[in-house]
Structure 1
Amino acid sequence: MSAETVRDTESAPPVPALEPRPAPVVPAARSRSAQLVGWVLGTATVLALGSSVMLWQKLSTIQEQLARQSADAGSNAVEARTLARQAQDLARDVAARQAATDARISEVALQRTQLEDLMQSLSRSRDENLVVDIDASLRLAQQQAQLTMSAEPLLGALRAADQRLARAAEPRLARIRTAVTRDMERIRTAAVADVPGLLLRIDEMARQVDDLPLANAVGPGTTRAAPRPETAPARALPWWQQWLEGVRDEARALVRVSRVDQPEAALLAPEQGFFLRENLKLRLMNARLALLARQTDAARADVASAAVALNRYFDPAARRTQAMASAMQQVQTQLRVVELPRVDETLAALATVAGR
């Protein structure tokens, strides 16, 4: 209020006091409800503003977190790519090292196998060494027996093996000793041909080849007719009768009827008989050399081919031819038993024990 208004109030006469009236109730209630509504609206507004601020802050925080996470994800992706490349390089390196390691392992395995074989060969027991020694001695004795055509090397080796097995007194070697005993008995009872006697017989046959008559031989010396008994001496016959006898002998020599089973013998020229006999001698000499070289199969084959030539080109009815054929048959029979018995049973027993 202004100063003039205050002065007017103080100078005016006093107004009589009025009786107080009661204030209306309705406007006060309305003002209170309006105030309450206003307060509620203000509170709601404040709360809304606060919540909006909080939501804004939260959204800002979420955006920052998303941005940070996206940045982290990008960096992680870059790191993942880098790690993937490193992993690929490492895998290649590991594969190369694995290949090198496999190669070294295979080499080590091979060396280990060789070392195991060497250790096994070095760590053989006394029985295994005994079995190996007996096997080697028997094989060497068998070769010596084949070269010398004598059973003594085999018998000596078997006796030595029997003595060594008896001194060992090992139960698992009893089978070998039994096989050794059987082989000794078989070799003692085996019939071995007389090689020097066979050589002499072959030489004798080679010397008799020149006296063998050919199947197509002609001439007075080859006739096999029985001699005609003479009733009187030739001097007592008259000249004309002697002349008739000579003519008759010449006529008999002109024609000769004989049976030749082999056409090759009939077609053989007389001058080829020398070469035929020389070829037969060479066959017999080859058989002799094969027998000296301990090649009984080759010797048997040469004697068989010589027998075939004898039966084809020489007179089978002549006594000398028959004697030669019989001699060749005997030589072939003796050549079948020239081979010495082997010790296969003992060798099999030794192999069985060595394998175990």
Structure 2
Amino acid sequence: MSALPPSSPEPAPALPVQVLGVPPAQRPSAASRAGWFALVAIAGAALLSSVMLWQRLSSIQQQLARQSADSGANAIEARALARQAQDVARDTAARQAVMESRLSEVALQRSQLEDLMQSLSRSRDENLVVDVESSLRLAQQQTQLTGSPEPLLAALRTADQRIARAAQPRLARVRSAIARDTDRIRSASVTDVPGLLVRIDDIVRQVDDLPVANAVPARAVDEPPRPAAAATSPAAAWWGRWRDAVLAEARGLVRVSRIDHPDAMLVAPEQAYLLRENMKLKLLDVRLSLIARQNDSARADVTAASQALYKYFDPASRRVQAVATQLQQVQSQVRTAELPRIDETLAALATAGAGK
């Protein structure tokens, strides 16, 4: 940059400023100077706006920081409140469970109290119906266990007497049902198990006296005596006695009989005890079948005992014939009829208990 000579009357110009790449040697004109001022003004305005924008951005950042801090605090507070809410919910659930258990206990106590009040408020007729029904059911179970209808008949008679003493018209149908069930039970054919057991025990006691089929028959007691020999000489008398003794021994050695079962004749004499014990076991099987209410099995066991009796024992003996007759009677008394029931009476009692 060169300076002007001092003799020049013009004032010294200001130092040129290099703006926007304009070389200092060039002197700007008035238009370019105005452009420069405009550019400077624009730059100042831009700078001012930048400063204001920076300040506004700073304020926004501060506001965002404050909001973020507030949000973090709110989140922490929300988590604390959530934990409190969970604790309150658990406490509420525990209290609800306790209340439900207490409510169920109260409901149970209420139902028990209602049942007690209903039982206390029953009338005399209702108590009578309940007692009669329970006694009849118990008697029916006893009849099924013993096989005898007597417990059931006795319970029906007692029930009829109690209802008759009550003198209630609505129980008349119950008395009619009891009368019909009583007639049906009396007319039913039921096996007399106790009587049959006594008869079988009697037959078992007689088995020891039964003669087996291969036993040598004893001489009959009522055999007519031989006529006495006339008075003769001693030699003739001795001869007659010797002859009679020989004939008696011959009759004991030789026996003529009919054999229907060859197996019975092959039994050794010492096996007669086993035959009798086997016969007792068959009769005890009949007894057990009757006790177990197996009538078909009892009849089969009686048939087997009768066959063994005719096969191994002497059918011509009166004792064997008597035992065979008793076995036939037992066979005829074992029936397959079911025990009677009192369903009609129980239905009438249920109707009366319902108040219909």
TM-score range, shorter chain: 0.5 to 0.7
TM-score by length of 2: 0.56
Find 2:133's aligned residue among 132, 135, 140: 135
1:318 is matched with 317
Q: Which has the higher helix share?
A: 1
1:159 is matched with 160
Partner of 1:235, secondary structure, is coil
Q: CA RMSD in A?
A: 5.8
Task: Return the alpha-carbon distance in structure 2 between the equivalents of residues 53 and 41 of structure 1.
Answer: 18
Find 2:229's aligned residue among 221, 232, 235: 235
Query: Which region of structure 1 is more displaced relative to structure 2, 183-192 or 262-271?
Result: 262-271
Task: Return the alpha-carbon distance in structure 2 between the equivalents of residues 265 and 139 of structure 1.
Answer: 56
2:183 is matched with 185
Find 1:123's aligned residue among 118, 121, 126: 118
User: Which amino acid in structure 2 is aligned with residue 235 of structure 1?
Assistant: A
User: Which amino acid in structure 2 is aligned with residue 156 of structure 1?
Assistant: R
What is the Cα deviation at residue 220 of structure 1?
Answer: 3.3
Distance change >3 Å, CA 110–CA 93, structure 1 → 2:
closer
Distance change >3 Å, CA 162–CA 329, structure 1 → 2:
farther
What is the Cα deviation at residue 216 of structure 1?
Answer: 2.8
What is the Cα deviation at residue 74 of structure 1?
Answer: 3.2
Q: Is the CA contact 2:212–2:272 (under 8 Å) kept in the aligned structure 1? A: no
Q: Is the CA contact 1:212–1:321 (under 8 Å) kept in the aligned structure 2? A: yes
Partner of 1:220, secondary structure, is coil
What is the Cα deviation at residue 343 of structure 1?
Answer: 2.4
What is the Cα deviation at residue 346 of structure 1?
Answer: 2.6
Q: Is the CA contact 1:220–1:253 (under 8 Å) kept in the aligned structure 2? A: no
Partner of 1:59, secondary structure, is helix
- Number of equivalenced pairs: 307
Tell me, which stretches of 5 or more residues in structure 2 are unaligned?
1-28
2:4 is matched with none
Distance change >3 Å, CA 77–CA 41, structure 1 → 2:
same
Rg larger in 1 or in 2? 1
Tell me, which stretches of 5 or more residues in structure 1 are unaligned?
1-29
1:267 is matched with 267
What is the Cα deviation at residue 326 of structure 1?
Answer: 1.0
Q: Is the CA contact 1:138–1:154 (under 8 Å) kept in the aligned structure 2? A: yes
Task: Return the alpha-carbon distance in structure 2 between the equivalents of residues 87 and 34 of structure 1.
Answer: 76
1:61 is matched with 59
2:327 is matched with 328
What is the Cα deviation at residue 183 of structure 1?
Answer: 0.6
What is the Cα deviation at residue 322 of structure 1?
Answer: 1.7
Q: Is the CA contact 2:207–2:280 (under 8 Å) kept in the aligned structure 1? A: yes
Find 1:72's aligned residue among 56, 70, 73: 70
Task: Return the alpha-carbon distance in structure 2 between the equivalents of residues 59 and 207 of structure 1.
Answer: 128
What is the Cα deviation at residue 68 of structure 1?
Answer: 0.9
What is the Cα deviation at residue 178 of structure 1?
Answer: 5.7
Partner of 2:314, secondary structure, is coil
What is the Cα deviation at residue 186 of structure 1?
Answer: 0.9
Q: Is the CA contact 2:185–2:340 (under 8 Å) kept in the aligned structure 1? A: yes
Task: Return the alpha-carbon distance in structure 2 between the equivalents of residues 62 and 196 of structure 1.
Answer: 113
Partner of 2:229, secondary structure, is helix
Once the two structures are superposed, residues 276-295 of structure 1 have per-residue CA deviations (whole angstroms, 9 ceiling, x without a partner) of 48x959x79x97xx9xxx96
